[in-house]
Amino acid sequence: SFVPLEDVEVWTPTAGGSKPSYYDRNEKLDQKICVYSGDITKLEIDAIVNAANNSLLGGGGVDGAIHRAAGPLLKKECSSLHGCETGQAKITCGYGLPAKYVIHTVGPIAQGGVGKAEQTALRSCYRNSLIAATDNAARSVAFPCISTGIYGYPPEQAVHQALATVREYLDEHHDKLDRVIFCVFLPKDKELYLQNLPLYFPGP
């Protein structure tokens, strides 16, 4: 029941979006972007990102799902890492997962509203996760919608931080990555990603 990377469709940029895009077209990058709707623990990929908490010892949501699927050895390795600061990322093996690595990052808690600090922290999660991936020669990475579950970051704002940070990292390091997958779990998030992708990865 694992999902091989070849089965995840590359997103097709839509020609002439309704709004002016924020970045120039770069066809090389378009071929690296995917939106996958489903369970991140099923992806056969170099690295999946975990929306963890500061303890790195497991929690609810996607974190719980990743630990359940990976098995107890993941928690064992995580407990040797001495936690993780908000906005930082730490990498482990994937153990029972089809993914080779898990990159644990800690998103900001945004229940008190989103300010500059929360925005910066969320961007750091995406950027530091991509750095951890490329530092370990992982060429394909899947992200969940960090902070938009239990941590309360409004998904319609988080999508822009996610897309902008990935676009900027790919602009600088496109040679190091083949695929970046936005793994959406809720229909609302799928809609938000498909709606906003053309602003960051514009079509012809």
Establish if 46 lies at the interface with ligand ADP (CB under 6 A). no
Exactly one of 26, 35, 44, 61 binds ligand ADP (CB under 6 A); that residue is 61
Q: Which is nearer to ligand ADP, 63 or 118 (CB)?
A: 63
CB 65 within 8 A of CB 39: yes
Whole-number Å distance between alpha carbons of 15 and 143: 25
Q: Which is nearer to ligand ADP, 152 or 203 (CB)?
A: 152
Exactly one of 150, 160, 164, 179 binds ligand ADP (CB under 6 A); that residue is 150
Establish if 192 lies at the interface with ligand ADP (CB under 6 A). no
Q: At closest approach, how far in Å is the CB of 22 from ligand ADP?
A: 23
Whole-number Å distance between alpha carbons of 185 and 19: 26
Closest CA to 151 of 171, 127, 122, 181: 122
Angstrom distances, CA of residue 94 to CA of 1, 31, 91, 193, 194: 17, 26, 9, 26, 29
Binding residues vs ligand ADP (CB under 6 A): 39-41, 51, 61-63, 65, 107, 144-151, 183, 185-186, 189
